[in-house]
Chain A
Amino acid sequence: DAKTTQPPSMDCAEGRAANLPCNHSTISGNEYVYWYRQIHSQGPQYIIHGLKNNETNEMASLIITEDRKSSTLILPHATLRDTAVYYCIVRVNNNAGNMLTFGGGTRLMVKP
Chain B
Amino acid sequence: GAVVSQHPSRVICKSGTSVKIECRSLDFQATTMFWYRQFPKQSLMLMATSNEGSKATYEQGVEKDKFLINHASLTLSTLTVTSAHPEDSSFYICSAIEDTEAFFGQGTRLTVV
Contacts and interface: CB of A to CB of B under 8 A. Distances in A.
Contacts of B49: 97, 99
Given A97-B32, A104-B43, A43 B100 contact: no
Interface string B34-55: 1010000001111001010000
Given A44-B93, A99-B102, A105-B43, 7 more contacts: A41-B91, A43-B104, A95-B100, A99-B95, A100-B44, A102-B45, A104-B43
21 contacts: A41-B107, A43-B93, A43-B95, A43-B104, A43-B106, A44-B93, A46-B101, A95-B97, A95-B99, A97-B31, A97-B49, A97-B51, A98-B97, A99-B46, A99-B102, A100-B102, A101-B46, A102-B43, A102-B44, A104-B43, A105-B43
Interface in B56-113: 91, 93, 95, 97, 99-107, 109
B44 A44 contact: yes
A33 to B, nearest CB: 14
A93 interface: yes
A94 B99 CA distance: 8
Contacts of B46: 99, 101
Interface residues of B, number: 27
A99 B34 contact: yes
Nearest to B101: A46
